[in-house]
């Protein structure tokens, strides 16, 4: 299922994560990216009996931005069609913790706390550190940790306005 049209090349493989299209449409692009990456990490971890780890597994996934495309679409729809047409799932899609929540719910993980540490570009590393502490302190035996994000016009405009993007207009295909 194509989750985001502004995320070139990302198309969630529903078969890979074992999810129905209806369920996938209930999450933002950054959560879908986190779910697919988590699925890949779990499969390559060598842990074959993941469902039996559910009560001993926690999730710590965060990001600097998430749900911006859904927020933008919801605001535009509200302006065009009225407040009664706001996406009823927008809060669940746009909260920073929704990536971690979707992974935890999908796999039935619920050890310790389910966290979403947001520390801008360092969010992935911060969540890995948080997961490490969960294991060391005995709150979980296994953690799914990392970072996710979503690119949207708002990101580019904001970072461009503060001068954080390159102004070099050279052709990137020429080295």
Tell me the mean pLDDT in the region 131-154. 90
Residue 108 and residue 56 in contact, taking contact as beta carbons nearer than 8 Å = no
pLDDT digits (tens, 9 = 90+) for 47-87: 767 666 777 889 999 988 888 888 888 999 999 999 888 88
Pairing mode, if any, of strands 57-62 and 142-147? parallel
- Look at the pTM and tell me if it is higher than 0.85: no
Residues in the chain, how many? 175
pLDDT of residue 2: 45
More confident residue, 53 or 33: 33
């Amino acid at each position: 299922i194509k989750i985001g049209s502004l995320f070139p090349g990302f198309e969630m493989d529903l078969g890979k994560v074992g999810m129905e299209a209806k369920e996938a449409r209930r999450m933002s692009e950054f959560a879908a990216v986190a779910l697919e990456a988590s699925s890949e990490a779990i499969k390559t971890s060598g842990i074959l009996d993941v469902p039996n780890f559910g009560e001993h597994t926690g999730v710590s996934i965060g990001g600097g931005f998430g749900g911006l495309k859904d927020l933008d679409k919801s605001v535009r729809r509200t302006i065009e069609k009225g407040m009664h047409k706001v996406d009823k799932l927008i809060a669940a899609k746009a909260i920073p913790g929704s990536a971690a929540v979707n992974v935890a719910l999908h796999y039935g993980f619920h050890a310790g706390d389910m966290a979403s540490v947001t520390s801008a570009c360092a969010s992935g590393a911060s969540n890995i550190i948080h997961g490490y502490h969960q294991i060391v302190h005995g709150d979980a035996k296994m953690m799914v940790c990392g970072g996710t994000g979503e690119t949207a016009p708002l990101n580019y405009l904001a970072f461009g306005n503060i001068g954080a993007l390159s102004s070099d207009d050279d052709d990137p295909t020429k080295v």
